[in-house]
Chains A and B, each alone.
Chain A
Amino acid sequence: TGAAPAGRLLCGPGLRRSGAGLLVTKCGLLRHRPAGPGAYWVDSQQKRYVPVKGDHVLGIVTAKAGDVFKLDVGGSEPASLSYLAFEGATKRNRPNVQVGDLIYGQFLVANKDMEPEMVCIDSSGKSSGMGIIGQDGFLFKVSLGLIRKLLAPKCEIIQELSQLYPFELVLGMNGRIWVKAKTVQQTLIIVNILEASEYMTAEQRRQALAKLSGN
């Protein structure tokens, strides 16, 4: 739109640079962040994930082709993950990954021209929470907008849930959530609340949680 202001400006998802201005490519609400580097982006809703470099996602191993694993991340193509991209992995010391395993990693390469590539280590070589997600737990899919709501700093839903029971939660930017609690019942309760919180208002959610903590 208008002239470029002084200083850096981040043009986020939904916006594209064209000439000296910006073009909108998605429908939604325009958001603005004045601080940090100023940023503009379009807050849109979708269920289908498009791989983006640097995003942390939950992938399911579908095939093992030589030294490379194929992961299903919910995009148009399966992502590839090399067996060396784990912390402490060498040619002799291979990670124990089987077909059907759940992996939390980030995209190293993700553009529309190439097959997406994932890694389970960060730039300094440490795993920092990424890698194979262990046994048990429950994986389910939600819309991308809910994931962003849950990952916002100081999210109310997460804060309220954390008061209920001890549990572990992994959120992938591709819409997949993995939950693990001590019993199956607790796990399912958390799953139901997370799924329903997309359409519940804050009041309804608090009522539901109050009933649960009362039981």
Chain B
Amino acid sequence: LQFMQRGLDSQTKKQLEEEEKKIISEEHWYLDVPDLKEKESCIIEERSFVRCEDLVYGRMSFKGFNPEIEKLMIQMNSKCKEEEIEVDDKMEADVSDEEMARRYETLVGTIGKKFLRKRDQHVLKDDDDEDGEVDEDKNSNIIPRKKAKKMFLKPQD
């Protein structure tokens, strides 16, 4: 039959299929009986006790006799409990919110320094050393201090 050929597109296949169905359908026999309406019932038949009584998984291990089975036990039984416990996945925090806020404040400063441009880093360093002492490097030469931050000087025409 044409539609069985692999080479054809799916579209042409479908078209050919439909055409052939139309040709054949008149010859097919069918029951001349009105469709019985299936009664919608809300009762589901269940032949297993496991679903009714919520029985746990049958393989168990205690006191570390078989660690894999113990892991499996936790997994299987938490799968059942997941359905019950839907709310509150909040874990209890070890650190209070206030402490977190304080830490974050200082953290932002230190990490922020890392991303400053070189010029700005110098300025920060100067700000830290504003106690009036003169800087000395290894050779005990006094490093001249820059007083003002160098700004962009617009070239005069």
- Counting CB contacts under 8 A, is B29 at the interface? no
**Chain B residues positioned under 8 Å from A138 (CB to CB):** none
A13 touching B43 in the complex, CB below 8 Å, given contacts A151-B56, A171-B58 = no
**Chain B residues positioned under 8 Å from A173 (CB to CB):** 49-50, 58
**Chain B residues positioned under 8 Å from A7 (CB to CB):** 42
Could you mark each residue 21-65 of chain B with 1 if its beta carbon is under 8 Å from any beta carbon of chain A, else 0? 000000000000000000101111111111111111111111111
A20 touching B41 in the complex, CB below 8 Å, given contacts A13-B52, A41-B49, A41-B52 = yes
Residue B52 contacts which of A31, A54, A171 (CB distance < 8 angstroms)? A31
Does B58 lie within 8 Å of A162, measured CB to CB?
Answer: no
A39–B43 CA distance with the chains assembled, in angstroms = 9
Total interface residues on B, using CB and 8 Å?
31
**Chain B residues positioned under 8 Å from A182 (CB to CB):** 65
Could you mark each residue 171-182 of chain A with 1 if its beta carbon is under 8 Å from any beta carbon of chain B, else 0? 111000000111
A129 touching B62 in the complex, CB below 8 Å, given contacts A55-B48, A151-B56, A173-B49 = no
> Could you list 23 A-B pairs, sorted by A, with CB under 8 Å?
A4-B42, A5-B42, A8-B42, A9-B42, A11-B44, A13-B52, A15-B45, A33-B53, A39-B46, A41-B49, A52-B48, A53-B47, A54-B48, A56-B58, A56-B59, A151-B56, A153-B54, A162-B63, A166-B62, A167-B61, A167-B65, A169-B60, A169-B61
- 12 more A-B residue pairs beyond the given contacts A104-B58, A180-B65, with a C-beta to C-beta distance below 8 A: A8-B44, A10-B44, A11-B44, A12-B46, A13-B48, A15-B45, A17-B43, A20-B41, A104-B59, A128-B76, A148-B49, A171-B58
